[in-house]
């Protein structure tokens, strides 16, 4: 039985899949290869890069005009800047692949001699020169995980490809495709030997184009799910495709992981005579986030990098005037954390949930011993959100200074503390969704609470909007805009009540003036105003 693929390249007889070559501009790539161009194909982790390269290798070899070889250079990462050790490993991978795919032992029989004669900074290029000259057809080389290489090793590979570029196609590969997470322009490589940073653009200035592998379209999500129905006879509830698309925006790993979890691990869906429900997809999403699966954890791990935090933290704050550098934004987009187009936003709602959770894990651990979710659940199972926000005011006054400083962002810090505090309670019987309104000075939260504790019951919905008051921001304007925005948000998501939380970051204000609560007047929108 085929299943949804959540690890490694797709295998046609084991996985449901979208044909990899249908996801790229195949005609354009074949034209680049015919024109002897060297170019880059990049995309975030687990989007199908390796599957695409392997399919391209098979297509080119089947056509018979070229001899094409895929090779993965990740094995050189362990050698770090030991170029001699790394080159031994890389040529070894090249030799092994050539034997398996092309039944060609040229690299296997010559690599030792070329390493001895030309050294680690010449053996790779000399091998390609002599191999291309001996090949009956032009060589095409597809190098995967190029950005796994480090420092002088990466510089050496890029420069060796550049040094003999003019001898193509008779005495050097017809075309070389470098594949990784980032565009080569973003490689800032520190050379220990030269004691300086070398840019990827200068080390590999022969790049003709940089292509990006996109996510699934909504139609491709539908086609993927249809394969499960065709194979197992199990239908999907109406609206499933749209729901998965709304959660993932087509990110291939997320699409497959949600479907796999719902179809093969969710107990309610194992009966193939029952439809896969929207609720099963939501349970799958929560399970993936709760388990901190590798894909999500690897993305969240990038939050340790300063250039990632410089983009993400202002987004979490809904900063009205983001000031990130263009290169930082390009880098975060290449990682897949942020959507590739404008307006600037998180790549998908699942990442928007995961990232605040990851940032607040240490804070949530401290809250576990001091905040009991049972305190804020009424006897009928409903959520006492007013009591929860009142308790948050007290906690924020006593603990905010240390945590805001730890988060390293004056505007994002308070909102992350609120998120952690709410999540400590809401996680016991509901969920928190986030919507970032970048450039509009706001962050919207949607709390969904299942009153009876069962996810099958209709959820209570509450909208929360966070705003930040600085010396430049007047309270009357913040309240007016906040109420209008929150009312529109509540109407759109069906929330029964709302809470506008305004964090006062003016250092000269006493806590007695910052902390207040104002309930809605009779006839007004059901929005409570909180000062923190």
What pLDDT digit, counting tens, does each position of 124-161 carry? 999 999 999 999 999 999 999 998 888 889 989 999 99
**Centroid of chain to Cα 487:** 31
Average pLDDT of the residues in 21-45: 95
Cβ(157)–Cβ(198) below 8 Å:
no
| Average of per-residue pLDDT across 201-210 | 78
Q: Which of 163-172, 199-208, 299-308, 480-489 has the highest mean pLDDT?
A: 163-172
What span, in angstroms and rounded, lies between the C-alpha atoms of 478 and 500? 10
pLDDT at position 477 over 70: yes
Structure tokens at 11: 């295998």
pLDDT at 118: 95
189 token code pair: 């490589």
Whole-number pLDDT of residue 249: 96
Residue 78 has pLDDT above 70, yes or no: yes
336 φψ region: left (φ > 0), alpha (ψ -120 to 50), beta (else):
left
Torsions phi, psi for 422 (to 5 deg):
-65, -40
pLDDT of residue 196: 64
456 pLDDT band (50/70/90 cuts)?
Answer: low
Q: What is the rounded CA–CA span in Å between residue 318 and residue 321?
A: 9
Half-sphere exposure in the Cβ direction for 356 (13 Å, CA): 29
Looking at residue 441, its pLDDT comes to 52
DSSP H/E element including 71:
strand 67-72
pLDDT mean across residues, the chain: 89
Of 95-99, 118-122, 471-475, 513-517, the range with the lowest mean pLDDT is 471-475
Least reliable range by pLDDT among 112-121, 151-160, 216-225: 151-160
Among 135-144, 448-457, 506-515, the minimum mean pLDDT is found in 448-457
How confident is the model over 76-81, as a mean pLDDT?
87
Taking residues 471-486, what's their average pLDDT? Answer: 85
In the chain, domain spans:
19-212, 218-291, 319-531
Q: Which of 140-144, 470-474, 475-479 has the highest mean pLDDT?
A: 140-144
- Region 230-246 average pLDDT: 95
Instruction: Determine the topology of domain 19-212 in CATH.
Output: Rossmann fold (3.40.50)
Asked whether the predicted pLDDT for residue 513 surpasses 90, the reply is: no
Grouping H, G, I as helix, E, B as strand and the rest as coil, residue 319 is coil
Among 130-144, 205-219, 507-521, the range of highest mean pLDDT: 130-144
- Maximum mean pLDDT: which of 109-113, 183-187, 409-413, 427-431: 109-113
pLDDT tens digits, residue range 245-301? Answer: 999 999 999 999 999 999 999 888 888 889 999 999 999 998 998 888 888 888 878
| Residue 322, pLDDT score | 62
Picking from 298, 242, 237, 291, the residue whose alpha carbon sits closest to that of residue 47 is: 298
Shortest CA distance to 92 belongs to which of 116, 117, 109, 77?
Answer: 109
Distance CA 59, CA 291 (A): 38
The answer on pLDDT for 70 being more than 60 is yes
Mean pLDDT value across residues 185-200: 68
Instruction: Give percent of the chain above pLDDT 90.
Output: 57
Backbone angles phi, psi at 131, to 5 degrees: -70, -45
Beta pairing partners, 141: 69, 176
Q: State the pTM of this model.
A: 0.86
Calculate the CA dihedral of residues 311, 312, 315, 316 and round it to 10 degrees. -150
Strand order in the sheet with 67-72: 67-72, 139-144, 175-180, 38-42, 207-212
Check whether 195 has a pLDDT greater than 70: no
| Alpha-carbon gap, residue 340 to 331, rounded angstroms | 10
**In angstroms, rounded to a whole number, what is the distance separating the alpha carbons of residues 357 and 363?**
10
For the ranges 200-214, 227-241, 477-491, the one whose mean pLDDT is highest:
227-241
Q: How far apart are CA 62 and CA 194, in angstroms?
A: 44
Of 469, 486, 487, 491, which is closest to residue 478 (Cα–Cα)? 469
Which element (helix H / strand E) includes 450?
strand 442-450
Q: How far apart are CA 374 and CA 371, in angstroms?
A: 9
Asked whether the predicted pLDDT for residue 304 surpasses 90, the reply is: no
SS (H, E, C) 162-217: HHCHHHCCCCCCCEEEEEECCCHHHCEEEECCCCEEEEHHHHCCCEEEEEECCCCC
């Amino acid at each position: 039985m085929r299943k949804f693929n959540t690890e490694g390249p797709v295998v046609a007889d084991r996985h449901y899949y979208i044909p990899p070559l249908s996801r790229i501009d195949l005609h354009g790539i074949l034209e680049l290869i015919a024109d002897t161009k060297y170019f880059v194909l990049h995309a975030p982790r687990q989007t199908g890069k390796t599957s695409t390269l392997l399919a391209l290798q098979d297509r080119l070899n089947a056509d018979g005009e070229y001899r094409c070889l895929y090779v993965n250079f990740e094995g050189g990462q362990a050698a770090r800047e030991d170029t001699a050790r790394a080159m031994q490993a890389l040529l070894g991978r090249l030799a092994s692949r050539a034997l398996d795919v092309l039944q060609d032992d040229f690299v296997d029989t010559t690599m030792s001699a070329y390493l001895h004669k030309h050294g680690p900074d010449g053996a790779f290029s000399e091998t390609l020169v002599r191999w291309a000259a001996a090949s009956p057809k032009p060589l095409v080389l597809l190098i995967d995980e190029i950005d796994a290489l480090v420092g002088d090793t990466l510089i050496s590979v890029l420069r060796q490809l550049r040094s003999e570029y003019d001898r193509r196609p008779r005495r050097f590969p017809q075309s070389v495709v470098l594949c990784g997470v980032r565009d080569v322009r973003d490689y800032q490589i520190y050379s220990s030997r030269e004691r300086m940073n070398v840019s990827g653009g200068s080390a590999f200035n022969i790049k003709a184009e940089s292509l990006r592998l996109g996510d699934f379209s909504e139609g491709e999500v539908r086609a993927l799910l249809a394969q499960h129905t065709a194979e197992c006879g199990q239908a999907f509830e109406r609206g499933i495709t749209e729901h998965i698309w709304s959660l993932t925006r087509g990110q291939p790993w997320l699409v497959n992981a949600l479907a796999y979890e719902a179809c093969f691990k969710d107990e309610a869906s194992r009966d193939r005579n029952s439809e896969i429900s929207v609720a099963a997809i939501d349970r799958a999403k929560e399970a993936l986030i709760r388990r901190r699966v590798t894909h999500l954890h690897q993305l969240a791990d990038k939050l340790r990098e300063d250039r990632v935090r410089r983009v993400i933290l202002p987004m979490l704050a809904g900063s009205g005037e983001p000031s990130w550098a263009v290169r930082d934004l390009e880098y975060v987009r290449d990682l897949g954390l942020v959507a590739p187009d404008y307006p600037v936003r998180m790549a998908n709602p699942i990442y928007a949930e995961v990232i605040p959770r990851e940032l607040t894990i240490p804070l949530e651990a401290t809250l576990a011993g001091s905040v009991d979710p049972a305190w804020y659940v009424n006897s009928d199972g409903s959520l006492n959100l007013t009591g929860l926000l009142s308790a948050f005011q007290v906690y924020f006054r006593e603990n905010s200074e240390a945590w805001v400083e730890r988060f390293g962002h004056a505007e994002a810090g308070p909102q992350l503390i609120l998120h952690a505090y709410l999540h400590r309670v809401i996680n016991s019987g509901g969920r928190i969704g986030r919507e970032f309104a970048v450039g509009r000075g706001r962050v919207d939260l949607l709390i969904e609470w299942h009153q009876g504790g069962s996810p099958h019951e209709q959820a209570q919905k509450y909208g929360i909007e966070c705003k930040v008051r600085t010396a430049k921001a007047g309270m009357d304007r913040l309240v007016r805009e906040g109420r209008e925005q929150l009312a529109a948000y509540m109407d759109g998501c069906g929330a029964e009540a709302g809470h506008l939380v305004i964090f006062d970051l003016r250092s000269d204000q006493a806590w007695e003036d910052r902390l207040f609560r104002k309930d809605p007047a009779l006839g007004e929108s059901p929005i409570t105003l909180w000062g923190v």
